[in-house]
Amino acid sequence: MVVRLIKPVLAPVLRLQAKRLRKVALEMPEPEGLRSGLIDHPTSTSAPLSILIVGDSCAAGVGAPTQQEALASRIARILATRLGRHVQWHLIAQTGLTSHGLRDLLRESPLPHADVAIVIIGVNDISNDCPLPLALRRREEIVRLLVARSRVCRVVFPALPEVERFPLLPQPLAWYGGFTARQNNALQLRWATHPRRSHLISHLPMHGLMHPSLMAADGFHPSPPLYEKTAQRIAEHIETLILPMGVS
């Protein structure tokens, strides 16, 4: 209620700050390297677990110099160790995507088979002021695409981090970004835990990982150490999903 009253007052300042940031923000490239691979485990005798990572610039690994130091391949390596099995991984991601844009990219892309999909999306929804109910409808469509074409058994949606702690963002834009990120997380949690979806979708809290010192030079994307911490949490969550499912 308070935010609804304050936002019209702050709107001109928020727009001005957002416009200025787009002009001065350091543009970092997506890291070089393969976007798919197989992580072998020496003692595994079962078929590889297949994971598909899709999403925006954080899924793509912006802030890391190579894909080996970014998110997707780290998740696969950690899972191979934790599960004691081979892990096949694929990455489909692009800087700047909203939930709508990711849905369109997946529609146009050949999708590999995957047991589990990880969807990294949402920051661009809030930075583009996309209504969150509409963003969730697009995420529902993303899930349907992944189930129909990749045959996934589970889809993991990590929550947004503490956006208010991004070094790039000035006040009050940082405050508003953090508030909207928390709104996104609350609505996504309620959406994911609905009885019609909870067997397929999980919302993964990501609080407690972000620290300004762990951000890349642009002050907006993770550095390799933060990607490592993020990959650890995602891999731990996937392990809790896979073991009861008995995916083999």
Give Cα 48 to chain centroid, integer Å: 23
pLDDT of residue 247: 58
Averaged pLDDT for residues 52-68: 98
pLDDT for 12: 87
pLDDT of residue 245: 58
Q: How confident is the model at residue 50 (pLDDT cuts 50, 70, 90)?
A: very high
What is the band of 44 on the pLDDT scale with cuts at 50, 70, 90? confident
Specify the pLDDT at position 243: 64
* pLDDT confidence of residue 46: 84
| Integer Cα distance of 136 and 25 in angstroms | 28
Mean pLDDT check: name the lowest of 16-30, 81-95, 152-166: 16-30
DSSP string, 175-220: HHHHHHHHHHHHHHHHHHTSTTTTTTEEEE--TT---GGGB-TTSS
Which of 7-16, 183-192, 226-235 has the weakest average pLDDT? 7-16
